[in-house]
């Protein structure tokens, strides 16, 4: 594969190869022994048209730990503000012999479009409501480390599934790796195509969480909602916010995940988010660097083979 645009349709052995390599980078990172020259002389550009803390920073760290020259292009101070189109921006970066282009964009499909126009390997860092592949990979790595396997686990993905590219990427990955996937949320925040994807749909948190191994909470994405349809935070928390009472329905050793950024007191109670016995949110962030190192490594190797 030259690019990482989506997890839908990716072969399970390729996903497993990325996770295995990421696991080895996770161990090297903890020992402070990353390979600092694997990507020496390679250029990585972060092109984020939407805000980010975790994804952008971890791609920067991942690139630097492997020795790449990393450039964070500030879209808000770029010529995009003078009306330059996405494709003209991409052509400009292409002319600078960029090796890897990491893009986040509000339009679903923007990274795929770009990948047809540039020579660089393109990595989707989140496109609209479509996919966020490296997030699902880091989630899978975190689950695998905690549970020892992905096979036959029951994973409940809860909240605003409709607007969530994180949920879509996770659904594709987890089903490919033989998990049982449930999605739990109010009917207004469940996508119409959900059951066709092969997941079970629940509108009641207690039923959806029953005997789950993994409880994955999602951010309520108000910025993607029409004004009139935004649920009130208090009402949402009462029915769909994860608190101790609802979590009691999952398995006693169930782990709690959240991709971040969190709305505390909206989709998750602070006491759960900060509970070291249940929450693996910090480990998700740590695995984000390892997963992105693995993705950069594999795509750079594939470029070498193709050039
Ligand atoms: N989970 C995630 O994508 O976080 P950022 O928006 O901070 O990158």
- Does the structure show a pLDDT above 70 at 193? yes
- ipTM score assigned to the predicted complex: 0.98
Distance 60 CA to ligand 1 centre (A): 13
**CB half-sphere exposure, 15, CA atoms < 13 A:** 27
Do the annotations mark residue 42 as ligand-binding? no
3-state secondary structure of 168: helix
- Does the structure show a pLDDT above 80 at 237? yes
Query: What confidence score (pLDDT) does residue 228 get?
Result: 56
Cα–Cα distance, 39 to 41 (Å, whole number)? 6
- Rounded mean pLDDT, 3-8: 98
Do the annotations mark residue 109 as ligand-binding? no
- Does the structure show a pLDDT above 70 at 299? yes
Q: Is the CB–ligand 1 distance for residue 53 below 6 Å?
A: yes
- Shortest-distance Cα residue to atom 6 of ligand 1: 52
Cα–Cα distance, 278 to 272 (Å, whole number)? 7
- Shortest-distance Cα residue to atom 4 of ligand 1: 54
Whose tokens are 């995940």? That residue is 257
Q: What is the share, in percent, of the chain residues with pLDDT greater than 70? A: 98
Residue 115: name the closest of 106, 105, 123 by CA: 123
Question: Which mutation among 53, 62, 125, 165 tests ligand 1's pocket best, with the greatest number of atoms within 8 A of CB?
Answer: 53
Do the annotations mark residue 3 as ligand-binding? no
Q: Is the CB–ligand 1 distance for residue 285 below 6 Å?
A: no
Cα–Cα distance, 259 to 220 (Å, whole number)? 12
Distance 54 CA to ligand 1 centre (A): 5
Alpha helices in 149-256 (DSSP H): 165-176, 194-197, 205-209, 233-240, 244-247
């Amino acid at each position: 594969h030259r690019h990482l645009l989506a997890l839908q349709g990716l072969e399970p052995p390729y996903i497993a190869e990325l996770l295995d390599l990421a696991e080895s980078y996770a161990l090297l990172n903890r020992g402070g022994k990353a390979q600092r020259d694997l990507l020496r002389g390679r250029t990585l550009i972060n092109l984020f048209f939407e805000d980010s803390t975790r994804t952008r920073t971890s791609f920067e760290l991942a690139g630097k730990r492997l020795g790449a020259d990393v450039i964070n292009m500030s879209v808000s101070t770029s010529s995009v503000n003078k009306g330059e189109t996405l494709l003209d921006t991409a052509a400009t970066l292409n002319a600078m012999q960029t090796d890897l282009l990491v893009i986040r964009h509000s339009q679903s499909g923007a990274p795929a479009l770009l990948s047809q126009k540039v020579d660089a390997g393109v990595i989707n860092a989140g496109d609209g409501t479509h996919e966020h592949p490296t997030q699902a990979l880091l989630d899978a790595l975190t689950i695998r480390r905690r549970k020892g396997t992905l096979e036959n686990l029951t994973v409940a993905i809860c909240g605003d599934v409709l607007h969530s590219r994180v949920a879509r990427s996770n659904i594709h990955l987890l089903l490919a790796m033989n998990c049982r996937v449930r999605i739990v949320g109010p009917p207004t925040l469940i996508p119409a195509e959900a059951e066709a994807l092969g997941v079970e749909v629940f509108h009641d948190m207690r039923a959806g969480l029953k005997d789950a191994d993994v409880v994955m909470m999602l951010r309520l994405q108000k910025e993607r909602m029409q004004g009139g349809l935004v649920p009130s935070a208090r009402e949402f928390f009462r029915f769909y916010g994860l608190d101790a009472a609802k979590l009691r329905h999952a398995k006693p050793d169930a782990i709690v995940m959240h991709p971040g950024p969190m709305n505390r007191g909206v989709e998750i109670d602070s006491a759960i988010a900060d509970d070291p016995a249940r929450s693996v949110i910090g480990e998700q962030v740590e695995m984000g660097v390892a997963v992105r190192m693995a993705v950069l490594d594999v795509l750079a190797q594939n470029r070498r083979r193709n050039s």
